[in-house]
C-alpha cells in the first residue's frame, strides 16, 4: 500500500526477492544488507496503482541507485505514476497505463530495460554473465486512453530489450516497446534500443508527439501504427532497423479518409510497410462497405499485406508520381529504396502458387465494392502472384504497370473492369487471368513487354453457363491466343469456339466436356480453330516468350514431347468428352489439334470431327467405352503411337476420307504396307485420300489444301520471326520464284485470291515463253512483274507525346509500284521501351515483332501503296519524357527491291522531348492545323483574338504533357457559336512562355 515505514539494520539472507514494494509505498531502508539473495533489486509488486505515486531512486544494501524489478503492474484511470530522474526499472512483463505515467529524465536518464541487463544499476539478477539481455526479454509499456493522458510523458528515457509477444496474441497491435492506444502523450529525447519488433506502436486514434528520439536495432520497422492514427514526428533518427519504413497494422477502415503522406527520420514520403495478412489470423487491410479510402500520388507500399475492398478504393497516382506496390526486397522504389538496409543481400521475387486456395494480391475488390467509385490510376505493381484480384467487381484500372509478377489482373465471377493504357512487363505468365463470364469492358492502349506471355489465361473453373471464345484484340495483338490449364465445361453449359480462335494449353492442361463443345471453323481467311501446346510457336507466335529455351512444335520429336507412355515434358493432356456429353453438340470442324498426350479422348462419347488436322500427338484420337465418333475429311498424321485408337472396340468407328500422312494410307493390323499413322482395329479408314499436307499446292503455306489469306499471313509471321516455316512450307511459299521468301510473295497470294492474277510467277517460269500456254498469262504480267520495279524513300515523322507515350510516324515518299514492304528499325538507347507498331494503311496484312532493340515490320496488300503515305505508327514509352534513344532504319525492301543502300539521313530520328517551346500554324484550306511543342508539362491556354485585339474565344485550356501536340482550327473550334470567316490572332500561353501567330478560318 502506501506504507511509509522505516527499517534499520536488517540482514536479508537466502531470499529470492529480498524486498517487495508497492508503487504507492516509500519505505526508508537503512543499514540493510543482502546475503545470498536471488536478486539485488527492489521487487515491485504485481498490483494496480489506484492513487498518485512517485517511484524514487534509492540506495540500499550498498547499491547506489538500486534497480526496481517488475513483471506486470497497472496504473489505474485515477492515478498518475511519476518516475524520478535516474530511476532504473528492469522488467519481465507489461506496464499498463490506464491513468498517466510521467517519466521526465531531464535531470538523469530514466531506464526501462531487461532484468538481464547488467549495464544499468549493476548485476541486479545476481548471476554474473550467466544470462545476457536480448530482444524480447520483456513486453511493453502500453498507454491507454484516459482523462489524464495529457500528463503522459517519456522524456530522456532509455527503453531497451522489449517486444516479447504472448502466444495468444494474433495481431500486430503489440508491435512496440511503447504502445500508444487511442491516447495522447509526449515522447521526447528518448533512446529505443534492441527491440524484437518496433520501438513505438501507435494504435487507433492515438496522437503522440514523438520528437528528438533515437531508435536503434529493431527487428522490424522503427514505428508500427494504425494508418489513420495521428502521430507527430520531428527530428527523430533511426539506425540499424530491420525495415526502414512506417509499419501499418492490418485493420478495417470504416470512415472516408485519404492516406497521409508522412515524413520520418529524415525520409520524406517514407515507405509504408504492410505486414503480412496471415489467413489463419483473419487479419486484413479492409476498406469497409460504404467507406472510401483515397491513396494520393507518390506513395510506396511494401510488404505482403493485402488490401481487401468492400467499399471504395481510389488510387490516384499520376504518370510522374505513380503509387507503387512492391516487394520488401525491391530496392528500386520507395523512400528509402533499400528498406532492409542490406544492399543486394536479398532479392525480390514472387510465388506462382496459391496458398490454401488464396491467391495473393496487393488489392482485392470484392463483390460488395462500389464499382463506380473504385479506381486504380497510374500504379506500379511488382513481385506479386496477382497484383489486382477482382471478385465480381469492375473498377477502373488505367495507366498501371504490372511488372515482375506472375499475373497482372485476375477476374473472377462476372467482372468487367476498364483496363486501359496498362503495361504488362516481364510477368511470369499471362497479363490477365479471367473467368469466361468475365472480360474487361475496355482494353485500349495496353501493351506487353519482356517475358510476359502473349496470350490471355483462362481461369481454371467449371463453366456453368453458355460461353463463347471469340477472337480478341489485346495489347495490339489481333487474335491473341487463349491459354488454358485445367478447364471443365459443366453439365449445364455449352462452350462455343468462334472461327479463327487459338487455344494453347499449359503443360498437362486438359479441357473436360460434360455437355457440349462446338468448335466450328471455316474456310475463310484466318478461320481455322487451333488447340495446341503453349510452346507451339507455329500458331500465333512465341506465346511464352521462350524461343531460346523451347523448340517450336514442328521441331519436336517424340523424345522431346514424351518421357514415357504416361509422361510428357511440354505437351498438354487432352480434350476429354465424358459419358454425359451431348453428342450432337460436340463438334470439331476445320480445327487443328496437336502437341497433346491424347488429342481427343472420349469416354462413351461420340463427337463429330471433320475437315480438321490431328497431328503430332502421342495419340490423335483415343476412344474408350461406348464411343463412336465420326471422323471424316481430316488430316491425321505425325501422331506418335496411334492416329486413332479404338481401345474398347464397342463400335466400328467411321474414319473414311481422311489423309493419314502418306498417300498409301494408314498402317493397321490388316494394312501393314501403309506408311501413315497407325490405327487400331475396329476403325473404318476406307477411301483414304492420296493428297494432303505432304503434297501441297504452291501458295498453300498452311498445308490445309486451300489457298487463303492466312497463307499470306503465315509468310509475314515467318519473316518477322514470330513463327518458323518448315521445309515444305518454305518451298510452296516462294510463289514469286525469286529472292527467297519475301513480303511480295504474301502480296501475290492476296492478288491471287482477289483474281488480280490467275497464277504465280513460280508456275509461269515452268512454261516455255514461246508456248501458246504462256500467252494466256500475259494479262498477269502487269502485277507479276512488279517484284523489281519498286522505288521509294523512307523517313520518320515528328514524334508526338500522348500521356507519356511517344508516337513516331514511319513515312514513305516518292513510292512507285509498291504492294509490299519489309522493314527493320533499330531503337538504341537506355531510356526508351517499345510498346507497339500499328499499321496505318489498313488495306492489307501487317505483322510486327520486336526483339532486342530491333523492330521488324512486314506488309502485303493487293493495291498500290500511295506515293506519300504514313505506313506505320510506332509507340514507345519514354520514362520521364527524355531519352538518349535514336531510331534508325536498318533495312528497307519494297516488293523484292532492296533499297537498304539508298537509306538517307532522314531515316534517323531521336526519341526525346522537344528542347524548347514551339508554336506554328499550317493553312490547309477550310481547316488549318496548329502545332505546338512543350519541353515540359505545362498549363496551356490557346486564345483567339480579333484583328482589333478583342478576345473572341478560348479554344484550349488545361494541363498538357510534355511533347508535340496538334489541334485543328475551324469555324466550329472551341465552344460557342460558329466563328466568322477571316483572320485571327491565336495566342498560346504555356506557363510564363507566350507567343501569338496569325491564323485564318474558313479559307
SS3 559: helix
Which cell numbers hold the place of 54? 512517485
Q: What residue ranges in 884-974 does DSSP mark as E strands?
A: 885-894, 897-898, 908-911, 918-922, 928-934, 938-945, 951-960, 963-969
Given a contact cutoff of 8 angstroms between Cβ atoms, the answer to whether 215 and 237 are in contact is yes
Instruction: Please tell me the predicted confidence (pLDDT) of residue 525.
Output: 52
Look at strands 854-861 and 885-894 and give their pairing. Answer: unpaired
Given a contact cutoff of 8 angstroms between Cβ atoms, the answer to whether 860 and 744 are in contact is yes
Which cell numbers hold the place of 711? 497463307
Phi-psi region for residue 935, left (φ > 0), alpha (ψ -120 to 50) or beta? alpha
Look at strands 200-203 and 141-144 and give their pairing. Answer: unpaired
Instruction: Please tell me the predicted confidence (pLDDT) of residue 564.
Output: 35
Q: Tell me the average confidence (pLDDT) per consecutive run of 10 residues in the chain, 1003 residues long.
A: 69 83 86 84 92 93 92 96 97 95 97 94 86 93 95 98 68 85 97 95 96 96 96 97 95 96 97 75 80 97 91 96 95 95 85 54 94 96 94 96 94 96 94 96 93 95 96 92 97 96 94 97 79 87 67 39 42 94 95 93 96 91 96 90 95 92 86 89 86 67 82 94 86 87 94 83 55 40 62 84 76 90 84 84 91 89 88 80 74 92 78 79 77 84 91 87 78 78 91 91 72
Instruction: Please tell me the predicted confidence (pLDDT) of residue 832.
Output: 73
Cis omega before residue 336 (within 30°)?
yes
CA dihedral angle for residue 377, residue 380, residue 381, residue 383, rounded to 10 degrees: 180
SS3 295: strand
Q: Give CA angle at 661 (659, 665), nearest 5°.
A: 60
Longest Cα separation, the chain: 139
Instruction: Please tell me the predicted confidence (pLDDT) of residue 472.
Output: 95
Q: Is the pTM of this model over 0.85?
A: no
Residue 438, classified by CB atoms within 10 Å of its CB into exposed (0-12), middle (13-18) or buried (19+), is buried
Amino acid at each position: 500500500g502506501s506504507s511509509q515505514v522505516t527499517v534499520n539494520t536488517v540482514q536479508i539472507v537466502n531470499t529470492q526477492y529480498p524486498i517487495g514494494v508497492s508503487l504507492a509505498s516509500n519505505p526508508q531502508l537503512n543499514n540493510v544488507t543482502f546475503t545470498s539473495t536471488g536478486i539485488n533489486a527492489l521487487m515491485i509488486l504485481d498490483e494496480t496503482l489506484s492513487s498518485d505515486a512517485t517511484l524514487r531512486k534509492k540506495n540500499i544494501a550498498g547499491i547506489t541507485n538500486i534497480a526496481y524489478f517488475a513483471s506486470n503492474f497497472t496504473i489505474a484511470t485515477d492515478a498518475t505514476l511519476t518516475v524520478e530522474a535516474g530511476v532504473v526499472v528492469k522488467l519481465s512483463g507489461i506496464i499498463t497505463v490506464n491513468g498517466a505515467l510521467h517519466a521526465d529524465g531531464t535531470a538523469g536518464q530514466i531506464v526501462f530495460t531487461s532484468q538481464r541487463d547488467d549495464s544499468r544499476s549493476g548485476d541486479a539478477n545476481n548471476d554474473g554473465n550467466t544470462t545476457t539481455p536480448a530482444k524480447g526479454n520483456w513486453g511493453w509499456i502500453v498507454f491507454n486512453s484516459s482523462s489524464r493522458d495529457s500528463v503522459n510523458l517519456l522524456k530522456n528515457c532509455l527503453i531497451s530489450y522489449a517486444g516479447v509477444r504472448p502466444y495468444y496474441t494474433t495481431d500486430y497491435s503489440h508491435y512496440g516497446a511503447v504502445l500508444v492506444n487511442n491516447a495522447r502523450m509526449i515522447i521526447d529525447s528518448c533512446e529505443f534500443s534492441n527491440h524484437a519488433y518496433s520501438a513505438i506502436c501507435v494504435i487507433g486514434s492515438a496522437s503522440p508527439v514523438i520528437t528528438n528520439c533515437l531508435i536503434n536495432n529493431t527487428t522490424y520497422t522503427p514505428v508500427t501504427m494504425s494508418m489513420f492514427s495521428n502521430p507527430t514526428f520531428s527530428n527523430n533518427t533511426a539506425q540499424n532497423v530491420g525495415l526502414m519504413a512506417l509499419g501499418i497494422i492490418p485493420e478495417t477502415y470504416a470512415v472516408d479518409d485519404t492516406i497521409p503522406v508522412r515524413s520520418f527520420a529524415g525520409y520524406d514520403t517514407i515507405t509504408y510497410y504492410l505486414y503480412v495478412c496471415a489467413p489463419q489470423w483473419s487479419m486484413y487491410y479492409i476498406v469497409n462497405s460504404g467507406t472510401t479510402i483515397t491513396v494520393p500520388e507518390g506513395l510506396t507500399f511494401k510488404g505482403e499485406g493485402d488490401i481487401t475492398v468492400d467499399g471504395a478504393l481510389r488510387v490516384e497516382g499520376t504518370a510522374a508520381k505513380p503509387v507503387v506496390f512492391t516487394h520488401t526486397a525491391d530496392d528500386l522504389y520507395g523512400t528509402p529504396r533499400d528498406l532492409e538496409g542490406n544492399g543486394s543481400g536479398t532479392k525480390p521475387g514472387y510465388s506462382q502458387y496459391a496458398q490454401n486456395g488464396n491467391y495473393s494480391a496487393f488489392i482485392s475488390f470484392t463483390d460488395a465494392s462500389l464499382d463506380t467509385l473504385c479506381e486504380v490510376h497510374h500504379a506500379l505493381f511488382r513481385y506479386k502472384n496477382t497484383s489486382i484480384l477482382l471478385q465480381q467487381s469492375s473498377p477502373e484500372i488505367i495507366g498501371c504497370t504490372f511488372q515482375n509478377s506472375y499475373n497482372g489482373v485476375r477476374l473472377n465471377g462476372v467482372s468487367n473492369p476498364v483496363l486501359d493504357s496498362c503495361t504488362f512487363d516481364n510477368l511470369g505468365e499471362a497479363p490477365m487471368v479471367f473467368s469466361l463470364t468475365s472480360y474487361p469492358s475496355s482494353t485500349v492502349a495496353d501493351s506487353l513487354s519482356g517475358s510476359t506471355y502473349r496470350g490471355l489465361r483462362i481461369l481454371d473453373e467449371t463453366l456453368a453457363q453458355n460461353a463463347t471464345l471469340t477472337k480478341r484484340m489485346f495489347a495490339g495483338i489481333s487474335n491473341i491466343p487463349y491459354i488454358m490449364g485445367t478447364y471443365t465445361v459443366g453439365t449445364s453449359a455449352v462452350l462455343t469456339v468462334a472461327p479463327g480462335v487459338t487455344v494453347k494449353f499449359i503443360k498437362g492442361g486438359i479441357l473436360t466436356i460434360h455437355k457440349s463443345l462446338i468448335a466450328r471453323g471455316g474456310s475463310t481467311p484466318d478461320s481455322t480453330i487451333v488447340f495446341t501446346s503453349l510452346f507451339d510457336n507455329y500458331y500465333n507466335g512465341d506465346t511464352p516468350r521462350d524461343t531460346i529455351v523451347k523448340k517450336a512444335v514442328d521441331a519436336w520429336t517424340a523424345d522431346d514431347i514424351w518421357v514415357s507412355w504416361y509422361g510428357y515434358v511440354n505437351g498438354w493432356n487432352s480434350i476429354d468428352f465424358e459419358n454425359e456429353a451431348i453428342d450432337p453438340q460436340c463438334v470439331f470442324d476445320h480445327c487443328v489439334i496437336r502437341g497433346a498426350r491424347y488429342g481427343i479422348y472420349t469416354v462413351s462419347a461420340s463427337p463429330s470431327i471433320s475437315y480438321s488436322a490431328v497431328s503430332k500427338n502421342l495419340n490423335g484420337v483415343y476412344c474408350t467405352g461406348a464411343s463412336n465418333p465420326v471422323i471424316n475429311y481430316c488430316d491425321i498424321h505425325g501422331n506418335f503411337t496411334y492416329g486413332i485408337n479404338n481401345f474398347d472396340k464397342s463400335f466400328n468407328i467411321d474414319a473414311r476420307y481422311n489423309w493419314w500422312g502418306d498417300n498409301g494410307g494408314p498402317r493397321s493390323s490388316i494394312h501393314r504396307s501403309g506408311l501413315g499413322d497407325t490405327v487400331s482395329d475396329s476403325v473404318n479408314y476406307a477411301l483414304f485420300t492420296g493428297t494432303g499436307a505432304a503434297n501441297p499446292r504452291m501458295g498453300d503455306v498452311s498445308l490445309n489444301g486451300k489457298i487463303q489469306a492466312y497463307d499470306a499471313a503465315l509468310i509475314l509471321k515467318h519473316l518477322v520471326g514470330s513463327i518458323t516455316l518448315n521445309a515444305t512450307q518454305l518451298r510452296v511459299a516462294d510463289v514469286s520464284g525469286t529472292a527467297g521468301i519475301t513480303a511480295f510473295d504474301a502480296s501475290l497470294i492476296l492478288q491471287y485470291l482477289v483474281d488480280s492474277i490467275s497464277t504465280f510467277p513460280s508456275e509461269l517460269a515452268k512454261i516455255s515463253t514461246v508456248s501458246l500456254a504462256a500467252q494466256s498469262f500475259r494479262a498477269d504480267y502487269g502485277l507479276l512483274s512488279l517484284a523489281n520495279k519498286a522505288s521509294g524513300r523512307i523517313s520518320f515523322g515528328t514524334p508526338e507525346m500522348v500521356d507519356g507515350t511517344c508516337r513516331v510516324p514511319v513515312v514513305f515518299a516518292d513510292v512507285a509500284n509498291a504492294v509490299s514492304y519489309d522493314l527493320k528499325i533499330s531503337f538504341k538507347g537506355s531510356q526508351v521501351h517499345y510498346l507497339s507498331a500499328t499499321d496505318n494503311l489498313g488495306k492489307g496484312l501487317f505483322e510486327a515483332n520486336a526483339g532486342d532493340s530491333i523492330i521488324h515490320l512486314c506488309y502485303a496488300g493487293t493495291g498500290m501503296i500511295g506515293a506519300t503515305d504514313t505506313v506505320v505508327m510506332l509507340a514507345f514509352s519514354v520514362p520521364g519524357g527524355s531519352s538518349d534513344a535514336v531510331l534508325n532504319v536498318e533495312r528497307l525492301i519494297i516488293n523484292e527491291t532492296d533499297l537498304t543502300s539508298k537509306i538517307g539521313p532522314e531515316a534517323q530520328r531521336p526519341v526525346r522531348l522537344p528542347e524548347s517551346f514551339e508554336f506554328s500554324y499550317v493553312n490547309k484550306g477550310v481547316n488549318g492545323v496548329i502545332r505546338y511543342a512543350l519541353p515540359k508539362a505545362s498549363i496551356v491556354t490557346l486564345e483567339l483574338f480579333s484583328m482589333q485585339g478583342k478576345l473572341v474565344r478560348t479554344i484550349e485550356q488545361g494541363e498538357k504533357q510534355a511533347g508535340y501536340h496538334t489541334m485543328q482550327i475551324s469555324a466550329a473550334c472551341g465552344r460557342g457559336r460558329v466563328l466568322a470567316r477571316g483572320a485571327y490572332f491565336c495566342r498560346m500561353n504555356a506557363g510564363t512562355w507566350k507567343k501569338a501567330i496569325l491564323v485564318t478560318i474558313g479559307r
